[in-house]
Structure 1
Amino acid sequence: MNNQTDNNVQENKSQECNFNCFQGAEDLLRNIDNKDKKEKIKAILFDLFNIKNINFLFGAGTSNGAIPTMKELRECVIGELDNKEKELFDKNDKQNLEKTLEILYSGKTYFENNPQGKDNIEFNTLKNLIEKIEKTIFQAINIEIGINCENDTQKEVFKNYEKFYKKVTYRNKDLNRVNVFTTNNDLFNEYVLDYLNIDYNNGFGGGLKRSFNPARFEYVFAKKMDEGIEKYEPLNHMIYLYKLHGSINWVEDQNHNSFFDIEEIYLKPKEQKLEKTFLIYPTPLKEGKSLTSPYTDIIREFQKKLSLSNSVLFIIGYSFSDEHINTIIYRALASNNSLSVVVFADKDKLTRIPLFSINDKRIYVIYGKDEDKTIHYFNYFVDELIPEHKQDKEDENYKKFVSAFKEAKGG
């Protein structure tokens, strides 16, 4: 009887494992046993990870849990409003913070373009309401990151990014360094890269004042191979980071010798919203702001990377709600025959993913369950699906030295 119960449990677990992987309209797992489906997906990803040019597009899902969702942000905003502001908010609120912000921004713009508009009481109410919403969003993003994370969920998100960068940094020296594009404004990428001592290029350079210069995206960081000859090799531990919607630590500053009035500053966790923060807030109007500098330069880099031959774009935690970004992906697929796109998708939202309905062998869509784990989540991706890359010999020798040193000291 107990054996029968165990068999039923195992059968139920087997049924819960529901891997799906499509290449265009072809189901790549159709004739494969359930127990072998995961290995098949890993084999497919292994080949794709060895393509010369690797790009990642991160959306809000990669920081989910540490950074509030739009629904959670809406509740935070409501808690900060007085009665008059709540009345105005409720009047425009359609249970969607992005659409509410669009209406509020549009009203503010209307009054600003009206000669007597700025003296209008409603204009000041609108302005104050928008400032409160932006302040609430900013504070929700500007959290403590790292060993001092406030809760276990935030620590887990930090660990996910850490495992991701540890795995993707160690690539074959003959392959190009990894490009990470993200719509997130938070600082998880930067904090983790600093923590791991991995160099990264995000378009900013300088010393005490770090100003934006898109030309830096063309820079290659290299080390000298031999003191006697002028021979160099690119750094292994190097990441190119592109923040498509800006960052909470970017500010407008005209007090430096640069063509671009954007500066990257050190931002203390929990610090209040900066007066000249340069980021794109979650509103449908963000597409218009993305047409200004420095976003045009970063978007251009996105286009450029996807146009390179032998390229792959992995899309994780992204909802396809940014049409200007979607359009770049579509154009790249239309013009670059050697580009592959891999989408880790939410099964319940497949109809919202335009790429899922296109029968193109260059498009892969992966979704499903592994028992109680959702396979398109960032933590599953970094734990189970990213191929392990052997670290370079120099790093291995260093680890051996540290181990031997500790042994010699008796510890």
Structure 2
Amino acid sequence: MEIFFYKGNENVLESKKEQTSEKSNETDLKKIQDSFLKALDNKNLSFLLGSGCSSFKLETTEGKFKEIGIPVMAPMASEFYGSKEFKEEKEWLKSTLSIEVDGDIFSKNLEVFLSTLHSLSFYLQKTLSEEEIDQIPLSIQEKSFADLTNCEKVESIILKARNYLLQKCLNEDNAKPEKDKPPVDQPLIELYKQFYRKLLTRNPTLPRLNIFTTNYDLYSERAMDLLGIHYVNGFTGGISKFFNPAIFNYALAEKMDLSQSKWSVIDNFFYLYKIHGSVNWIQAEGENKLFNVKEIQEPTFEDLEDESTIMIHPTPLKYNASLGSPYSDLFREFQKKLMQNNNILVTIGYSFSDEHINNLIFQAFTIPSFRLIVIGEPTEKNAIGKLMALNDSRIWIIGEKWPEEKSDYVPLHFFKRFVEQVLPDLTAEDLDKKMEKTIQNLKDLLK
């Protein structure tokens, strides 16, 4: 398969082959790894993880492939629109509101669909009294869809789509361990663990890494918890954790010299920014809390389905969802990090389909020292191809051409192969694995 490494629109692997007459993938991978190792030593480094990072398919005994992680947005949207439970709502949207869910606008993105419905709901509720608005949740529970008002029908569809997203992102069927067996999604957890474990080997004298993600799921948190990695995700507190963006200005440090006020930031520490929210964030009231977003520990669908407001983007708030807290605070942090001098942003599993995020990335190019490393495949139609067409040497694009005849093939720009083959494989990983095994053996001895 053809591996590529573009700087601007020049594939530096091709020029290397012309000079050396070497055509092996191992040589290409070595060159990519060496370049990536230098990027990891950059002072200001951030990662942006998209939905592709949490998708993971395993081959079944029948030779088919089963999704054990979380599908990317396009197949998720297709499944929801095509379900029997959505048939009546789909017909009503088309006949009454002229909304074609199978059209170009909505067919591949449930977030855009939800955003449109929230705007419609906001408009329709402006024609109602407060009593009528308060009655909507009760009406949705008691009446059939056909008997609901237009406003109630929109709210009913929003609730159905939101709960569908919740179930998919919680992934409870695959995340629950069976008797004497690990959970089905264990390979995905191990992949995330490997990703964070490798990033720990970055020079400890450099600022801590920033991990931005558009994903609602909890795979990053689960992986870091299992590795004993400390992270700041914007929430403070003990039993009740509430959002407070000021925490992003803090770091976890250890005292180096007891006789002086000398501190050093610990090595196993990351900043995690979930810029589209999370399945375990809800809107809740707290005493003396300026921000009313609460983090739920060990969330289940049963716990969350009755919550009026789950903080996944887009969320209906009293003001515009994309401008309100916590989203505005998280996007502000994203912009602040991008605007630092000598900053590198690495995107993985991100298709550049979010205009809010894209605008901030494009603004960063006004800083000469900014670099963007895209792990993905450029085509004539997609946004990555348009980035390559800019012919800016500050834009690196790394990946592999995906052969159409092999639908089950995993190219280099997929999260699995990126973690296993592009991220430098340093010896500290072996040490961590031995430590994990020793701890597990000790637990077995104490049983």
Instruction: Please state which band the TM-score falls in when normalised by the shorter chain.
Output: 0.7 to 0.9
Tell me if the contact between 1:80 and 1:132 (Cα under 8 Å) persists in the aligned partners: no
| Per-residue Cα deviation, 1:284-307 (whole angstroms, up to 9, x for no partner) | x9x952211111111111111112
- How far is 1:79 from its partner? 2.9
Counterpart residue identity of residue 148, structure 1: P
| Per-residue Cα deviation, 1:358-395 (whole angstroms, up to 9, x for no partner) | 12121101121599430110000100010134549xx7
Q: Distance in 2 between matches of 1:280 and 1:312?
A: 26
TM-score with structure 2 length normalisation? 0.77
| Match 2:279 to one of 243, 248, 265 | 248
2:368 aligned with 1:384? no
2:199 aligned with 1:168? yes
| Match 2:14 to one of 21, 30, 45 | 30
Report the equivalent of 1:136: 164
Counterpart residue identity of residue 124, structure 1: E
Report the 3-state secondary structure (helix = DSSP H, G, I; strand = E; otherwise coil) of the residue aligned with 1:22: strand
Tell me if the contact between 2:252 and 2:265 (Cα under 8 Å) persists in the aligned partners: yes
Tell me if the contact between 1:146 and 1:192 (Cα under 8 Å) persists in the aligned partners: no
| Match 2:245 to one of 195, 198, 214 | 214
Report the equivalent of 1:238: 269
2:305 aligned with 1:258? no
Report the equivalent of 2:83: 79
- Which ranges of structure 2 fall in alignment gaps of 5 or more residues? 57-68, 137-147, 404-408
| Match 1:291 to one of 316, 323, 335 | 323
Report the 3-state secondary structure (helix = DSSP H, G, I; strand = E; otherwise coil) of the residue aligned with 2:413: coil
- How far is 1:115 from its partner? 4.4
- How far is 1:400 from its partner? 12
> Aligned pair in 2 of structure 1 residues 218, 102: CA closer, same or farther (>3 Å)?
closer
Q: Distance in 1 between matches of 2:436 and 2:71?
A: 42
TM-score with structure 1 length normalisation? 0.84
- How far is 1:344 from its partner? 0.9
Report the equivalent of 1:199: 230
Report the equivalent of 1:300: 332
Tell me if the contact between 1:143 and 1:270 (Cα under 8 Å) persists in the aligned partners: no
Q: Distance in 2 between matches of 1:156 and 1:240?
A: 24
Counterpart residue identity of residue 413, structure 2: H
| Match 1:58 to one of 21, 27, 49 | 49
Report the equivalent of 2:118: 105
Deviating more after overlay: 91-100 vs 148-157:
148-157
Deviating more after overlay: 151-160 vs 135-144:
151-160
Counterpart residue identity of residue 343, structure 2: S
Q: Distance in 2 between matches of 1:129 and 1:259?
A: 31
> Aligned pair in 2 of structure 1 residues 135, 400: CA closer, same or farther (>3 Å)?
closer
> Aligned pair in 2 of structure 1 residues 159, 304: CA closer, same or farther (>3 Å)?
same
Q: Distance in 2 between matches of 1:207 and 1:195?
A: 19
Counterpart residue identity of residue 127, structure 2: N
Report the 3-state secondary structure (helix = DSSP H, G, I; strand = E; otherwise coil) of the residue aligned with 1:225: strand
- How far is 1:250 from its partner? 0.9
Tell me if the contact between 1:58 and 1:316 (Cα under 8 Å) persists in the aligned partners: yes
| Per-residue Cα deviation, 1:310-346 (whole angstroms, up to 9, x for no partner) | 2211100011111111011111111x22221100113
Tell me if the contact between 1:143 and 1:269 (Cα under 8 Å) persists in the aligned partners: no
Report the equivalent of 2:73: 70
Counterpart residue identity of residue 149, structure 2: I
Counterpart residue identity of residue 171, structure 2: I
Report the 3-state secondary structure (helix = DSSP H, G, I; strand = E; otherwise coil) of the residue aligned with 2:311: strand
> Aligned pair in 2 of structure 1 residues 228, 239: CA closer, same or farther (>3 Å)?
same
Q: Distance in 2 between matches of 1:151 and 1:223?
A: 35
> Aligned pair in 2 of structure 1 residues 337, 277: CA closer, same or farther (>3 Å)?
same
- How far is 1:105 from its partner? 3.1
- How far is 1:51 from its partner? 0.7
1:144-183 matches, within 5 Å, as: 144=172, 148=177, 154-183=185-214
| Per-residue Cα deviation, 1:95-129 (whole angstroms, up to 9, x for no partner) | 21535434433432332122489697222222212
> Aligned pair in 2 of structure 1 residues 80, 251: CA closer, same or farther (>3 Å)?
farther
- How far is 1:20 from its partner? 0.8
Q: Distance in 2 between matches of 1:103 and 1:402?
A: 52
Q: Distance in 1 between matches of 2:54 and 2:255?
A: 37
Q: Distance in 1 between matches of 2:233 and 2:393?
A: 32
> Aligned pair in 2 of structure 1 residues 90, 341: CA closer, same or farther (>3 Å)?
same
Extract structure 1 runs of 4+ deviating beyond 6 A. Answer: 116-120, 149-153
> Aligned pair in 2 of structure 1 residues 191, 270: CA closer, same or farther (>3 Å)?
same
Tell me if the contact between 2:50 and 2:351 (Cα under 8 Å) persists in the aligned partners: yes
| Match 2:345 to one of 290, 313, 319 | 313
RMSD: 3.2
Q: Distance in 1 between matches of 2:204 and 2:361?
A: 27
Tell me if the contact between 2:49 and 2:213 (Cα under 8 Å) persists in the aligned partners: yes
2:82 aligned with 1:93? no
| Match 1:375 to one of 399, 412, 433 | 412
Report the equivalent of 1:3: none
Tell me if the contact between 1:59 and 1:318 (Cα under 8 Å) persists in the aligned partners: yes
- How far is 1:196 from its partner? 0.7
Q: Distance in 2 between matches of 1:368 and 1:300?
A: 33
Q: Distance in 1 between matches of 2:437 and 2:151?
A: 66
Q: Distance in 2 between matches of 1:356 and 1:177?
A: 29
Q: Distance in 2 between matches of 1:384 and 1:276?
A: 41
2:28 aligned with 1:40? no
Counterpart residue identity of residue 2, structure 2: N
